[in-house]
Amino acid sequence: MAIRTILHYPDPRLRVQARAVECVDDRIRKLVDDMAETMYAAPGVGLAATQIGEDVRLFIVDLADEDEPSALRAFINPEIVARDGEQTFREGCLSFPGVTEDVRRAAEVTVRALDRDGEPFELRADGLLAVAIQHELDHLDGKLMIDHLGVIKRRIVHRKMMKRDDGPRPPAG
Ligand code: NI
């Protein structure tokens, strides 16, 4: 496994529309494992392949608390087939370090996807899991949390991210 670099806004690769996974093979399983290691190291509760510059429809989520066993789920070629209600949650994103903003999304979603073994599953989620699924699925369509904000908040977050010193770092070691 390997920890990968997480892209930060406004990296243009975060705007790429990811392509469907044609075959859940060892390459995809290795990508899931790398993404899990990267997410846990961050630490974060969700990560989309787009965020590490991989152009495939795949994201992972693990909402378990630190003292609980891992609840890692991989969603490959995910599709939301039903949405219901509304909720507002203060979201963060590993591509927007230090930023949290209220985002309004569906309260419940039903998602269909393939798991790490390529097996299809359907999941009905509410609460934080529903938020995470919608947030990560957005990434695969090149959509970011900033796109859900009003024009003024969007400008504030944009400026904050532009001020970060995110330039290339010298190679270590
Ligand atoms: Ni995110």
Question: Mind listing the pLDDT tens digit for each residue in 78-114?
Answer: 999 999 999 999 999 999 999 999 999 999 999 999 9
Catalytic residue set: 136
Give the pLDDT of residue 67: 86
Report the SS3 class of residue 165.
coil
Amino acid at 96: F
Amino acid at 2: A
Q: Selecting from 3.90.45.10, 3.30.390.10, 3.40.50.720, 1.25.10.10, what CATH number does the domain 12-163 have?
A: 3.90.45.10
Report the SS3 class of residue 49.
helix
CA of 26 to the centre of ligand 1 (A): 25
Residues having C-beta closer than 5 Å to ion ligand 1: 93
CA of 95 to the centre of ligand 1 (A): 6
Judge whether 29 and 56 are in contact, CB under 8 Å: no
CA of 116 to the centre of ligand 1 (A): 21
Q: How many angstroms separate the CA atoms of 40 and 36, rounded?
A: 6
Question: Quick one: pLDDT band at residue 65, thresholds 50, 70, 90?
Answer: confident
Give the pLDDT of residue 171: 57
- Count other C-beta atoms under 10 Å from residue 2's C-beta: 8
